[in-house]
Amino acid sequence: MTSTVVHLPAPRIPRVRASSGRLQDNPVVGQKRVLLAAPRGYCAGVDRAVVAVEKALERYGAPVYVRKQIVHNIHVVTELEAKGAIFVEEVDEVPEGAHVVFSAHGVSPAVVTAASDRGLHAIDATCPLVTKVHREAVRFARDDFEILLIGHEGHEEVEGTAGEAPDHVTIVNSPDEADTVQVKDPSKVVWLSQTTLSVDETMETVNRLRTRFPELHNPPSDDICYATQNRQVAIKKVAAAADLVIVVGSSNSSNSVRLVEVALEYGAKAAYRVDYAEEVQQEWLDGVETVGVTSGASVPEVLVREVLDALGDAGYRDVEEVKTAEEDLMFSLPKELRHDASGQRDDRALGGRATGGGA
């Protein structure tokens, strides 16, 4: 399977809501139904990052600056902009002394230094699972390992991880690149990966690397995050029974794009990605009895509900949830936001359970 490099920003276009009943209830041979994948939607790291921006706005007032998109979802970004967040590409666009939030995808040490040099008040909303990969890169570089980083060149997460040890990291974009990558010492090579990749394709890349470098070391624990894996496992089960799969998620969301690929690979006759329910096309539903629905790890549940409502207009009112895992991992807020302005501790821990699982 060929990977798509995902690094372009999501298109910033105004949303035009379609009127109710836009999709028609045309007859099909069998019974219309929806298989709703679970887990889906927000993971704990995304929830933590989004709430971090909201709480920073509450605590410090607007504007609060965010380097890159806080998570890869155009709806989330637009909603936060309406509350006073300003998204920038680099920290040199942020006024000196202002508050800036680093996105869930993480940043390199060079970005941290640049923010400090400008006197910025930085709040690190990096997903703790991404931070784990950063620490692995630092550790292996310190031990003079060559690091083969499996991921998409240009993706913010890959840039951040590679920036921890630029002299030790080589990016491997695909299984085919595993056949050509060169290393200096085959006995001191380790692989790490971007957290949002296809599990199957990543392991294909690893296996091809190991064929060439039998002494290839593994990371101490799996780098692909639990939420990415869980959503892929769920859509595999749904896809096997689906004529059509609809994945809710933005075009620059690596894990959302992977869900489309996985659905097609595991039996769906067709699969499409949409940001909003209005993008579902009538012709997609021609002759379709079973529609599978899921969403990427940065997608709020309200967008999934809108898709289900639209499908209901087209006669797909029988919704069955297909649950393959329970998620209860929770992350606390960045340290700067664990107390309110009066100094009172906010004991909330954040996770995606309310928006990513139940029907």
- The answer to whether residue 207 scores a pLDDT higher than 90 is yes
The pair of three-digit structure tokens given for residue 13, joined into one six-digit string: 């276009």
Q: For residue 23, which phi and psi values (nearest 5 degrees)? A: -85, 140
Mean pLDDT of 16-30: 83
Share the mean pLDDT of the chain: 92
- pLDDT surpassing 80 at residue 209: yes
Q: How many CB atoms lie within 10 A of CB 355?
A: 19
Predicted local confidence at residue 343, as pLDDT: 72
> What is the pLDDT at residue 222?
84
pLDDT of residue 19: 56
95-99, 137-141, 339-343: the lowest-pLDDT one: 339-343
Give the 3-state secondary structure of the chain: CCCCCCCCCCCCCCCCCCCCCCCCCCCCCCCCEEEEEECCCCCHHHHHHHHHHHHHHHHHCCCEEEECCCCCCHHHHHHHHHHCEEEECCHHHCCCCCEEEECCCCCCHHHHHHHHHCCCEEEECCCHHHHHHHHHHHHHHHCCCEEEEECCCCCHHHHHHHCCCCCCEEEECCHHHHCCCCCCCCCCEEEEECCCCCHHHHHHHHHHHHHHCCCCECCCCCCCCHHHHHHHHHHHHHHCCCCEEEEECCCCCHHHHHHHHHHHHCCCCCEEEECCHHHCCHHHHCCCCEEEEEECCCCCHHHHHHHHHHHHHCCCCCEEEEECCCCCCCEECCHHHCECCCCCECCCEECCHHHHCCC
CA dist 229 → 104, 198, 225, 296, 299 (Å): 18, 8, 6, 11, 16
- Spatial neighbors of 335 by CB under 8 A, at least 6 apart, are none
On whether the CB atoms of residues 22 and 311 are closer than 8 A, the answer is: no
Give yes or no for residue 241 having a pLDDT over 60: yes
- Higher pLDDT pick, 35 / 355: 35
pLDDT tens-digit series, residues 192-204: 999 999 999 999 9
* Cβ-based burial of 27 (10 A; exposed 0-12, middle 13-18, buried ≥19): exposed
Identify the sign of the CA torsion 117, 120, 124, 126: negative
Would residue 157 show up in a list of annotated catalytic residues for this protein?
yes
CA atoms of 2 and 194, how far apart (whole Å): 16
- Per residue in 280-312, pLDDT (tens digit) is 999 999 999 999 999 999 999 999 999 999 999
Binding-site positions read 43, 72, 105, 127, 155, 195, 225, 253-255, 298
CA-based R_g, the chain, Å? 21
User: Can you say which residues are annotated as belonging to the binding site for [4Fe-4S] cluster?
Assistant: 43, 127, 225
Q: What is the reported pLDDT for 355?
A: 39
Q: What is the mean pLDDT of residues 133-161?
A: 97
Other C-beta atoms within 10 Å of 156: how many? 24
- pLDDT of 69-93, one tens digit each? 999 999 999 999 999 999 999 999 9
Categorize the per-residue pLDDT at 18 as very low, low, confident or very high, splitting at 50, 70 and 90: low
| Low-confidence winner among 98-102, 202-206, 348-352 (lowest mean pLDDT) | 348-352
Q: What is the pLDDT of residue 359?
A: 33
Between 321 and 21, the more confident residue is 321
| Catalytic residue, candidates 146, 157, 177, 201 | 157
Q: Do you know the residue count of the chain?
A: 359
Judged by average pLDDT, the poorest of 21-30, 96-105, 295-304 is 21-30
Binding site feature residues for dimethylallyl diphosphate? 72, 105, 155, 253-255, 298
Q: Which residues pair with 85 in a beta bridge?
A: 64
Structure token digits, residue 129:
């699972």
Side-chain half-sphere exposure of 95, counting CA atoms within 13 A: 5
Q: How confident is the model at residue 330 (pLDDT cuts 50, 70, 90)?
A: confident
pLDDT at 347: 61
249-281 pLDDT, tens per residue?
999 999 999 999 999 999 999 999 999 999 999
The mean pLDDT of 142-151, rounded to a whole number, is: 98
pLDDT bucket at 223, cuts 50 / 70 / 90: confident
